[in-house]
Amino acid sequence: MPLARMRAVPARWAVSLIELLIALAILAVLIGLLLPAVQRVRQRADDMRCQNNLNQLNLGVGQYVETFKRLPPPGSPASVGGWSFEVLPFVEQKPLRDAVGLGTPTATAPAALARPPAVFRCPRRESQDGTAAGMSPAHYVLVPVSRRDSFTLYDAPLDLRAPWASGPELTQQELFQSSGPHRGGFHRASGFQQGVTFVPGVAGGEARP
């Protein structure tokens, strides 16, 4: 064969078993270092979403109070109503409020109420709700203050299964008898005040102020 028509044969590159194992070990270490960081970022994002929800709901309840000069009436787990239903027009959910009658049994409520709007959903609680039939449980609760002259909003305790559109209310003592969804604690928005604070969990102990 003429030299001009001969093609150079490329050199072959091979990896030994030891080199492959070393590369895999390094990759495993890097993944092990990366996953906790990714998890922390995800948890911070979930916390921020929950805090933003509480802030919007706090503003919504405050606007309701300014409009009607009182807190929404207490609800019942068996029927649609209470603060979480009455505040819908003040968190850009008026069509949903108008579509369902006050006092509708939660067990037979329309499908539109089965899952709450995004502002009522805490990412931490959503991952624990499962796929049970019926209306989703509440992720936030209202704690009336000073004979219903004011209010505070909290994350719902982990063991609370009240339907979200029934306006679940608790006392502080009842709230702190269980663990919260955020490292055992609760985010809190105090009525008529801006900002959201964190309260460590004190399950089984004395309620914090």
Tell me the pLDDT tens digit for each residue of 2-46: 545 545 545 555 567 787 778 787 787 777 776 666 666 677 777
Q: Which residues contact 64 (CB under 8 A, 6 or more apart)?
A: 71, 72, 83, 86, 87, 90
For the purposes of burial, counting CB atoms within 10 Å of the CB of 150, is it exposed (0-12), middle (13-18) or buried (19 or more)? middle
pTM above 0.85, yes or no: no
| Amino acid (1-letter code) at residue 154 | Y
- Can you give 75-142 as a three-state secondary structure string? CECCECCCHHHHCHHHHCCHHHHHHCCCCCEHHHCCHHHCCCCHHHCCHHHHHHHCCCCCCCECCEEE
**Helix, strand, coil share (%) of the chain residues, nearest 5:** 45, 15, 40
| The predicted structure's pLDDT at residue 132 | 62
In this predicted structure, the answer to whether residue 78 has a pLDDT above a threshold of 90 is: yes
Q: Find how far residue 78's CA is from the centre of its chain.
A: 23
List, for residues 155-198, the tens digit of each pLDDT value: 999 999 999 999 999 999 999 999 999 889 999 999 888 899 99
Phi, psi (5° rounding) for residue 108? -120, 20
| % residues pLDDT > 70 (the chain) | 84
207 pLDDT more than 70? no
